[in-house]
Amino acid sequence: MRVGLVIYGSLNTLSGGYLYDRMLVENLARAGHSVEIVSLPWRGYAAHLTDNFSSEVRRLLMRKRVDVWLQDEMNHPSLFRLNRDLRRLGGPPLLSIVHHLRSSENHPAVWMPLYRAVERAYLRSVDGWLFNSRTTRQTVEALTGQRRPAAVATPGGDRLMGAVPLGESEISSRCYQDGPLRVLFVGNLTPRKGLHFLLDALGRIPSANWQLDVVGRMNMKPAYTRSLMKTLQASPWKEQVRFHGALDQDELKAVYRSSQVLAVPSSYEGFGIVYLEGFSFGLPAVGTTYGAAGEVIGSGDSGLLIPPGDAPGLAAGLARLANDRGHLLTLSLGARRRYLTFPGWEASMNGARLWIESMAAGGGA
Protein backbone atom coordinates (compact mmCIF):
# COMPACT_ATOMS: atom_id res chain seq x y z
CA MET A 1 0.00 0.00 0.00
CA ARG A 2 1.26 3.44 -0.93
CA VAL A 3 0.43 6.03 1.70
CA GLY A 4 0.73 9.80 1.46
CA LEU A 5 0.99 11.82 4.68
CA VAL A 6 0.41 15.58 4.67
CA ILE A 7 1.98 17.52 7.53
CA TYR A 8 3.40 20.95 8.23
CA GLY A 9 7.17 21.14 8.56
CA SER A 10 9.23 18.18 9.73
CA LEU A 11 7.95 14.84 10.99
CA ASN A 12 10.70 15.09 13.64
CA THR A 13 9.13 18.16 15.25
CA LEU A 14 9.02 17.75 19.05
CA SER A 15 5.38 17.50 20.08
CA GLY A 16 2.91 14.82 21.05
CA GLY A 17 1.06 15.09 17.74
CA TYR A 18 4.18 14.62 15.66
CA LEU A 19 5.29 11.75 17.90
CA TYR A 20 1.96 10.04 17.17
CA ASP A 21 2.43 10.59 13.44
CA ARG A 22 5.99 9.19 13.59
CA MET A 23 4.87 6.09 15.45
CA LEU A 24 2.15 5.50 12.87
CA VAL A 25 4.57 5.94 9.96
CA GLU A 26 7.02 3.51 11.54
CA ASN A 27 4.27 0.94 12.05
CA LEU A 28 3.12 1.25 8.44
CA ALA A 29 6.70 0.86 7.23
CA ARG A 30 7.25 -2.27 9.34
CA ALA A 31 4.13 -3.78 7.76
CA GLY A 32 5.67 -3.27 4.31
CA HIS A 33 3.77 -0.16 3.26
CA SER A 34 5.53 2.81 1.71
CA VAL A 35 4.86 6.24 3.18
CA GLU A 36 5.61 9.46 1.32
CA ILE A 37 5.67 12.61 3.41
CA VAL A 38 4.24 15.75 1.82
CA SER A 39 5.49 18.65 3.93
CA LEU A 40 3.82 22.03 3.57
CA PRO A 41 5.77 24.99 4.98
CA TRP A 42 4.82 26.51 8.32
CA ARG A 43 3.21 29.91 7.76
CA GLY A 44 0.57 32.01 9.45
CA TYR A 45 -3.08 30.93 9.52
CA ALA A 46 -4.13 33.38 6.80
CA ALA A 47 -1.29 32.24 4.54
CA HIS A 48 -2.29 28.61 5.08
CA LEU A 49 -5.79 29.43 3.86
CA THR A 50 -4.33 30.55 0.53
CA ASP A 51 -2.88 27.05 -0.04
CA ASN A 52 -6.38 26.02 -1.12
CA PHE A 53 -6.02 28.26 -4.17
CA SER A 54 -2.37 27.47 -4.88
CA SER A 55 -1.79 25.72 -8.19
CA GLU A 56 1.55 24.49 -6.84
CA VAL A 57 -0.01 22.74 -3.82
CA ARG A 58 -2.80 21.39 -6.02
CA ARG A 59 -0.31 19.87 -8.49
CA LEU A 60 1.81 18.51 -5.64
CA LEU A 61 -1.10 16.50 -4.25
CA MET A 62 -2.70 15.48 -7.51
CA ARG A 63 0.49 14.10 -9.02
CA LYS A 64 1.17 11.72 -6.15
CA ARG A 65 0.32 8.09 -6.85
CA VAL A 66 -0.95 6.81 -3.53
CA ASP A 67 -3.63 4.37 -2.38
CA VAL A 68 -4.69 6.45 0.59
CA TRP A 69 -4.04 9.95 1.89
CA LEU A 70 -3.43 10.62 5.57
CA GLN A 71 -3.65 14.24 6.62
CA ASP A 72 -2.69 15.61 10.02
CA GLU A 73 -5.73 17.64 11.02
CA MET A 74 -3.41 20.49 11.97
CA ASN A 75 -3.20 21.12 8.20
CA HIS A 76 -6.92 21.83 7.95
CA PRO A 77 -6.59 25.50 6.92
CA SER A 78 -4.53 24.44 3.89
CA LEU A 79 -6.90 21.67 2.79
CA PHE A 80 -10.49 22.51 3.69
CA ARG A 81 -11.41 23.51 0.12
CA LEU A 82 -8.69 21.69 -1.78
CA ASN A 83 -9.97 18.34 -0.50
CA ARG A 84 -13.26 18.88 -2.30
CA ASP A 85 -11.38 19.01 -5.58
CA LEU A 86 -9.39 15.89 -4.72
CA ARG A 87 -12.57 13.98 -3.93
CA ARG A 88 -14.34 15.25 -7.03
CA LEU A 89 -11.60 13.70 -9.16
CA GLY A 90 -12.30 10.31 -7.63
CA GLY A 91 -8.89 9.93 -6.01
CA PRO A 92 -7.89 7.72 -3.08
CA PRO A 93 -9.60 7.95 0.31
CA LEU A 94 -8.78 11.00 2.43
CA LEU A 95 -8.27 10.19 6.11
CA SER A 96 -7.62 12.77 8.80
CA ILE A 97 -5.48 12.12 11.89
CA VAL A 98 -7.16 14.27 14.54
CA HIS A 99 -5.18 15.07 17.67
CA HIS A 100 -7.22 18.01 18.89
CA LEU A 101 -9.06 20.91 17.30
CA ARG A 102 -7.80 24.44 16.95
CA SER A 103 -11.32 25.56 17.79
CA SER A 104 -10.99 23.80 21.17
CA GLU A 105 -8.09 26.07 22.13
CA ASN A 106 -8.26 29.51 23.71
CA HIS A 107 -8.16 32.17 21.00
CA PRO A 108 -9.58 35.70 20.78
CA ALA A 109 -13.37 35.42 20.56
CA VAL A 110 -13.49 37.45 17.35
CA TRP A 111 -11.64 34.70 15.47
CA MET A 112 -13.48 31.68 16.84
CA PRO A 113 -16.38 31.67 14.32
CA LEU A 114 -13.85 31.60 11.47
CA TYR A 115 -11.79 28.84 13.08
CA ARG A 116 -14.88 26.73 13.70
CA ALA A 117 -16.21 27.22 10.18
CA VAL A 118 -12.93 26.34 8.46
CA GLU A 119 -12.32 23.35 10.74
CA ARG A 120 -15.88 22.11 10.22
CA ALA A 121 -15.54 22.39 6.44
CA TYR A 122 -12.26 20.49 6.52
CA LEU A 123 -13.55 17.67 8.73
CA ARG A 124 -16.54 17.25 6.42
CA SER A 125 -14.22 17.09 3.39
CA VAL A 126 -12.51 13.82 4.33
CA ASP A 127 -13.69 10.20 4.15
CA GLY A 128 -12.68 9.08 7.61
CA TRP A 129 -11.24 10.17 10.95
CA LEU A 130 -8.50 8.61 13.06
CA PHE A 131 -8.72 9.88 16.64
CA ASN A 132 -6.33 9.79 19.58
CA SER A 133 -9.11 9.78 22.20
CA ARG A 134 -12.84 9.38 22.72
CA THR A 135 -12.99 13.03 23.73
CA THR A 136 -11.54 14.14 20.40
CA ARG A 137 -14.08 11.98 18.57
CA GLN A 138 -16.99 13.46 20.52
CA THR A 139 -15.70 16.98 19.90
CA VAL A 140 -15.43 16.43 16.15
CA GLU A 141 -18.85 14.83 15.86
CA ALA A 142 -20.36 17.72 17.81
CA LEU A 143 -18.67 20.32 15.60
CA THR A 144 -19.56 18.68 12.29
CA GLY A 145 -22.97 17.34 13.24
CA GLN A 146 -21.95 14.25 11.27
CA ARG A 147 -20.42 10.85 11.61
CA ARG A 148 -17.77 9.32 9.38
CA PRO A 149 -15.99 5.97 9.32
CA ALA A 150 -13.65 6.36 12.29
CA ALA A 151 -11.27 4.67 14.67
CA VAL A 152 -9.83 5.63 18.05
CA ALA A 153 -6.19 4.61 18.60
CA THR A 154 -4.87 6.07 21.84
CA PRO A 155 -1.17 6.93 22.08
CA GLY A 156 1.20 4.66 23.94
CA GLY A 157 3.26 5.67 26.93
CA ASP A 158 6.01 3.07 26.59
CA ARG A 159 8.45 5.06 24.44
CA LEU A 160 10.84 5.63 27.35
CA MET A 161 10.36 2.77 29.81
CA GLY A 162 8.90 -0.01 27.68
CA ALA A 163 6.19 -2.32 28.96
CA VAL A 164 7.57 -2.54 32.52
CA PRO A 165 7.22 0.66 34.58
CA LEU A 166 9.53 1.80 37.35
CA GLY A 167 9.43 -0.58 40.31
CA GLU A 168 7.28 0.05 43.37
CA SER A 169 10.23 0.01 45.77
CA GLU A 170 12.06 2.75 43.89
CA ILE A 171 8.87 4.80 43.66
CA SER A 172 8.27 4.44 47.39
CA SER A 173 11.82 5.43 48.28
CA ARG A 174 11.64 8.46 46.02
CA CYS A 175 8.39 9.70 47.57
CA TYR A 176 9.92 9.83 51.05
CA GLN A 177 13.20 11.50 50.14
CA ASP A 178 13.95 14.61 52.15
CA GLY A 179 13.73 18.04 50.60
CA PRO A 180 11.21 20.03 48.59
CA LEU A 181 8.62 18.44 46.30
CA ARG A 182 10.28 17.93 42.93
CA VAL A 183 7.75 19.09 40.32
CA LEU A 184 8.30 18.43 36.61
CA PHE A 185 6.75 20.27 33.66
CA VAL A 186 7.25 18.67 30.22
CA GLY A 187 5.92 20.56 27.22
CA ASN A 188 6.83 23.18 24.67
CA LEU A 189 6.48 26.67 26.06
CA THR A 190 3.15 27.79 24.62
CA PRO A 191 0.20 29.37 26.43
CA ARG A 192 -1.92 26.23 25.94
CA LYS A 193 0.46 24.10 27.99
CA GLY A 194 -0.14 26.28 31.05
CA LEU A 195 3.29 26.90 32.53
CA HIS A 196 2.17 30.41 33.56
CA PHE A 197 -0.74 28.82 35.44
CA LEU A 198 1.61 26.38 37.18
CA LEU A 199 3.98 29.17 38.21
CA ASP A 200 1.07 31.18 39.59
CA ALA A 201 0.04 28.20 41.71
CA LEU A 202 3.55 27.38 42.93
CA GLY A 203 4.08 31.02 43.90
CA ARG A 204 1.31 30.56 46.48
CA ILE A 205 3.27 27.78 48.24
CA PRO A 206 6.30 28.48 50.47
CA SER A 207 9.30 28.28 48.14
CA ALA A 208 11.19 25.97 50.52
CA ASN A 209 8.54 23.31 49.82
CA TRP A 210 9.01 22.89 46.06
CA GLN A 211 11.33 23.06 43.07
CA LEU A 212 10.35 22.99 39.41
CA ASP A 213 12.15 21.54 36.40
CA VAL A 214 10.89 22.71 33.01
CA VAL A 215 11.58 20.58 29.92
CA GLY A 216 10.55 21.67 26.42
CA ARG A 217 11.33 23.89 23.49
CA MET A 218 11.52 27.55 24.46
CA ASN A 219 11.34 29.09 20.97
CA MET A 220 7.80 28.16 19.95
CA LYS A 221 6.21 31.39 21.18
CA PRO A 222 9.02 33.88 21.88
CA ALA A 223 6.76 36.60 23.30
CA TYR A 224 5.21 34.12 25.72
CA THR A 225 8.63 32.86 26.81
CA ARG A 226 9.83 36.43 27.40
CA SER A 227 6.76 37.12 29.50
CA LEU A 228 7.41 34.03 31.60
CA MET A 229 11.04 35.01 32.14
CA LYS A 230 10.07 38.54 33.14
CA THR A 231 7.58 37.21 35.70
CA LEU A 232 10.11 34.74 37.01
CA GLN A 233 12.91 37.27 37.40
CA ALA A 234 10.61 39.54 39.40
CA SER A 235 9.58 36.74 41.76
CA PRO A 236 11.19 35.86 45.11
CA TRP A 237 11.32 32.17 44.12
CA LYS A 238 13.18 32.39 40.81
CA GLU A 239 15.95 30.11 42.13
CA GLN A 240 13.41 27.30 42.50
CA VAL A 241 12.87 26.98 38.73
CA ARG A 242 15.27 25.36 36.28
CA PHE A 243 14.82 25.40 32.50
CA HIS A 244 16.38 22.51 30.58
CA GLY A 245 15.12 23.17 27.05
CA ALA A 246 14.52 20.15 24.81
CA LEU A 247 16.21 16.94 26.02
CA ASP A 248 17.14 13.72 24.30
CA GLN A 249 15.52 10.49 25.48
CA ASP A 250 18.21 9.49 27.96
CA GLU A 251 18.25 12.96 29.52
CA LEU A 252 14.46 13.02 29.65
CA LYS A 253 14.35 9.61 31.34
CA ALA A 254 16.78 10.83 34.01
CA VAL A 255 14.63 13.89 34.77
CA TYR A 256 11.44 11.81 34.94
CA ARG A 257 13.12 9.31 37.23
CA SER A 258 14.33 11.94 39.70
CA SER A 259 11.06 13.90 39.86
CA GLN A 260 8.11 13.27 42.19
CA VAL A 261 5.10 14.73 40.38
CA LEU A 262 4.36 15.76 36.78
CA ALA A 263 2.36 18.97 36.45
CA VAL A 264 1.23 20.06 32.97
CA PRO A 265 -1.99 22.04 33.55
CA SER A 266 -2.83 22.58 29.88
CA SER A 267 -5.90 24.58 28.98
CA TYR A 268 -6.73 21.72 26.58
CA GLU A 269 -5.29 18.31 25.72
CA GLY A 270 -6.60 16.03 23.00
CA PHE A 271 -5.09 13.13 24.97
CA GLY A 272 -1.94 13.92 26.95
CA ILE A 273 0.88 11.53 26.04
CA VAL A 274 3.09 13.22 28.61
CA TYR A 275 0.85 12.09 31.47
CA LEU A 276 1.04 8.47 30.38
CA GLU A 277 4.82 8.65 29.97
CA GLY A 278 5.04 10.11 33.46
CA PHE A 279 2.96 7.22 34.78
CA SER A 280 5.63 4.80 33.53
CA PHE A 281 7.98 6.41 36.07
CA GLY A 282 5.36 6.36 38.82
CA LEU A 283 4.74 10.11 38.61
CA PRO A 284 1.22 11.23 39.50
CA ALA A 285 -0.01 13.72 36.93
CA VAL A 286 -1.66 17.09 37.37
CA GLY A 287 -3.87 18.21 34.48
CA THR A 288 -7.08 20.13 33.96
CA THR A 289 -10.70 19.16 33.59
CA TYR A 290 -11.06 20.54 30.05
CA GLY A 291 -10.26 18.16 27.22
CA ALA A 292 -9.17 14.53 27.35
CA ALA A 293 -6.78 14.61 30.32
CA GLY A 294 -9.49 12.87 32.32
CA GLU A 295 -9.24 9.86 30.02
CA VAL A 296 -5.68 9.40 31.27
CA ILE A 297 -5.63 10.80 34.80
CA GLY A 298 -7.88 9.34 37.47
CA SER A 299 -8.33 12.32 39.80
CA GLY A 300 -7.59 11.26 43.36
CA ASP A 301 -6.29 7.91 42.10
CA SER A 302 -3.31 8.64 39.84
CA GLY A 303 -3.19 12.41 39.93
CA LEU A 304 -5.23 15.58 40.11
CA LEU A 305 -7.62 17.30 37.71
CA ILE A 306 -8.00 21.04 38.33
CA PRO A 307 -10.34 23.45 36.51
CA PRO A 308 -8.32 25.60 34.08
CA GLY A 309 -7.22 28.81 35.76
CA ASP A 310 -7.94 27.64 39.33
CA ALA A 311 -4.53 28.59 40.72
CA PRO A 312 -5.63 28.32 44.39
CA GLY A 313 -6.97 24.82 43.75
CA LEU A 314 -3.79 23.78 41.97
CA ALA A 315 -1.68 25.26 44.77
CA ALA A 316 -3.68 23.36 47.39
CA GLY A 317 -3.24 20.08 45.52
CA LEU A 318 0.51 20.51 45.12
CA ALA A 319 0.93 21.69 48.73
CA ARG A 320 -0.75 18.52 49.97
CA LEU A 321 1.64 16.37 47.93
CA ALA A 322 4.58 18.31 49.37
CA ASN A 323 3.37 17.95 52.96
CA ASP A 324 1.78 14.48 52.89
CA ARG A 325 4.22 12.00 51.42
CA GLY A 326 1.88 9.10 52.17
CA HIS A 327 -0.67 10.71 49.83
CA LEU A 328 2.09 11.25 47.28
CA LEU A 329 2.94 7.55 47.46
CA THR A 330 -0.71 6.53 47.04
CA LEU A 331 -1.04 8.60 43.87
CA SER A 332 2.38 7.47 42.60
CA LEU A 333 1.51 3.79 42.90
CA GLY A 334 -1.89 4.56 41.38
CA ALA A 335 -0.13 6.15 38.42
CA ARG A 336 1.98 3.01 37.97
CA ARG A 337 -1.11 0.78 38.05
CA ARG A 338 -2.97 3.00 35.60
CA TYR A 339 -0.04 2.89 33.18
CA LEU A 340 -0.44 -0.88 32.96
CA THR A 341 -4.05 -0.52 31.76
CA PHE A 342 -3.12 1.30 28.54
CA PRO A 343 -1.94 -0.36 25.32
CA GLY A 344 1.60 0.34 24.17
CA TRP A 345 2.50 2.09 20.95
CA GLU A 346 2.81 -1.09 18.90
CA ALA A 347 -0.60 -2.47 19.83
CA SER A 348 -2.32 0.87 19.38
CA MET A 349 -0.70 1.65 16.03
CA ASN A 350 -1.44 -1.88 14.82
CA GLY A 351 -5.11 -1.08 15.30
CA ALA A 352 -4.74 2.23 13.48
CA ARG A 353 -2.93 0.53 10.60
CA LEU A 354 -5.59 -2.17 10.21
CA TRP A 355 -8.26 0.53 10.00
CA ILE A 356 -6.27 2.46 7.38
CA GLU A 357 -5.77 -0.73 5.35
CA SER A 358 -9.51 -1.38 5.51
CA MET A 359 -10.33 2.15 4.38
CA ALA A 360 -7.81 1.97 1.53
CA ALA A 361 -9.44 -1.27 0.38
CA GLY A 362 -12.87 0.37 0.41
CA GLY A 363 -14.00 -1.19 3.68
CA GLY A 364 -15.40 2.01 5.20
CA ALA A 365 -15.08 0.61 8.72
pLDDT tens figures, 310-339? 999 999 999 999 999 999 999 999 999 999
The strand pair at 285-288 and 94-98 is best described as unpaired
> Which pLDDT does position 364 carry in this prediction?
56
Predicted TM-score of the model (pTM): 0.93
Q: State the Cα–Cα distance between residues 315 and 263, nearest whole angstrom.
A: 11
Average pLDDT over residues 131-149: 97
**From 3.10.105.10, 3.40.50.2000, 2.40.260.10, 3.40.630.10, which CATH number describes the 168-339 domain?**
3.40.50.2000
Is residue 365 predicted with pLDDT exceeding 80?
A: no
Query: What value does the mean pLDDT take over residues 219-234?
Result: 94
Q: What is the pLDDT of residues 247-264, one digit of tens each?
A: 999 999 999 999 999 999
Mean pLDDT across the stretch 185-205? 96
C-alpha angle with apex 250: 247 to 254, nearest 5 degrees?
A: 90
Question: What is the CATH T-level fold of the domain 2-156+344-360, as seen in this structure?
Answer: Rossmann fold (3.40.50)
| The pLDDT of residue 266 is above 90 | yes
pLDDT digits (tens, 9 = 90+) for 161-189: 888 999 999 999 999 999 999 999 999 99
pLDDT recorded at residue 156: 96
Question: Domain limits of the chain?
Answer: 2-156+344-360, 168-339
Over range 89-103, report the average pLDDT.
Answer: 94
Mean pLDDT over all residues of the chain? 95
pLDDT (mean) for 143-148: 96
Mean pLDDT for 200-221 is 96
Q: What is the mean pLDDT of residues 263-269?
A: 96
Nearest Cα to Cα of residue 240 among 265, 205, 266: 205
Residue 87 confidence class, pLDDT cut points 50, 70, 90: confident
Per-residue pLDDT band for 363 (boundaries 50, 70, 90) equals low
Band (85; pLDDT cuts 50, 70, 90): confident
On the question of a common fold for 2-156+344-360 and 168-339, the answer reads yes
Residue 119 — very low, low, confident or very high, per pLDDT cuts 50/70/90?
very high
Q: How confident is the model at residue 89 (pLDDT cuts 50, 70, 90)?
A: confident
Above pLDDT 90, what percent of the chain? 94
